[in-house]
Amino acid sequence: MHPHSHHSPTLNTDHTLPDPYKQLKASLTRLVNEHPPASIRPSGGLYKGPVSVAYTFLILQQMYNDLEIEGQLLGTWSAAYLKQAQDTIGDYPGPKPGKCGITDDILALLAIGAATSKDVDMVSNLCDYSAEVLDMDTDNEFLYGRAGYLYLLRLVKASFIDDPKTLQLITDTQDDVVDAILDTPRPWKWHGKTYVGAIHGAIGIITQVVLTDAKKYASKVEADLAVLLTYQYETGNWPSSIPPEKDRLVQVCHGAPGVVNSLVSIKKYFPNLEEKLNRAILKGRECVKERGLLTKEPSLCHGMSFAYYVPVLRYTKLILQQASPAMLLPSRTKISNTSSPTPQATK
């Protein structure tokens, strides 16, 4: 089957439905054995590298606090990968204008450290980097820009609800960053292009602005959101950028998976757009089911792993069957032998 076929494959009932918990444990075991902490090169923040793996274990620990991988709790693995990042911190260039979103190791380390240890000095250091974020050479997108910095501030803020002074410092920093975003002429651009998606585009920016303080900011981006909804293709997908090109990318960074996940997280703040949002989400989910889940390999950014979060629950059995090793290996061979390469997102 072509990777972008619009036809759903027939379920292979010869395969037993995999146990998600066992699949998770097997994947994490493979991760620590094939990519132990000392083997991972620094750089990448929450996007890739040791900090991103540490963050993954940190989040999973909150859901599976008694799960052990190779005899160690998830929190122990998180600390080991975090130490690898800290030990090589001298190799990091550090935040600078144009590169200060979630991919920056220093910002990510400060955010995780502040959130987990409630370290006020780390919060202060994180907020001090707002100078780079507010620089005119910094764009507003999520991966390298202001929206990503807003995400890190929100990550930290949840740990200081009972500390009014620190909370105010974070809030003031958030307000400065949001003001800079809102003062930027529309359409928001990155590298000269008007992107739409969750990582480099408008929906990613809108989402972080709204989740920062919905009461204060939702109304200020409602018009932007309304325009974005009009960009949806009849297929349910969204274009990578405007003016729209070929309907081809169904990924978290470009296309329906990222847009739908973002819309779901903010739709309650836009009652005036409720009907349009519900329609857009429904069409987007159908697109993801057909083109994001059933034709791609596991990958958080460009593949089916992130897309799992998008569809409604009635597709869960289908998703798990398609994600099992027994199903993936034959389909990988089939796709590589019979189709053209899947286009990659512009980075």
Both tokens assigned to 341: 């390469």
| Mean pLDDT estimate for the chain | 83
- Report CA dihedral (48, 52, 56, 61) to the nearest 10 degrees: 160
pLDDT exceeds cutoff 90 at 311: no
pLDDT exceeds cutoff 50 at 263: yes
Percent of the chain at pLDDT exceeding 70: 79
Q: What is the pLDDT of residues 72-102, one digit of tens each?
A: 999 999 999 999 888 888 777 789 999 999 9
Q: Rounded distance, CA 82 to CA 78, Å?
A: 6
Q: What is the pLDDT of residues 22-53, one digit of tens each?
A: 989 999 999 999 999 999 887 889 988 899 99
Q: Rounded distance, CA 308 to CA 7, Å?
A: 18
Q: What are phi and psi of 17, to 5 degrees?
A: -60, 120
Both tokens assigned to 117: 């240890």
pLDDT exceeds cutoff 70 at 3: no
Both tokens assigned to 36: 């132990």
Count of C-beta atoms within a 10 Å radius of residue 92 = 16
pLDDT exceeds cutoff 70 at 15: no
pLDDT band at 17 (very low <50, low <70, confident <90, very high): low
pLDDT exceeds cutoff 90 at 303: no
| Angle, vertex CA 193, rays to CA 188 and CA 196, nearest 5 | 60
Return all residues near 105 (Cβ < 8 A) that are at least 6 apart.
42, 43, 44, 45, 49, 51, 85, 89, 92
Helix axes 214-229, 202-212, angle to 10 degrees: 160
The pairing of strands 194-195 and 72-73 is unpaired
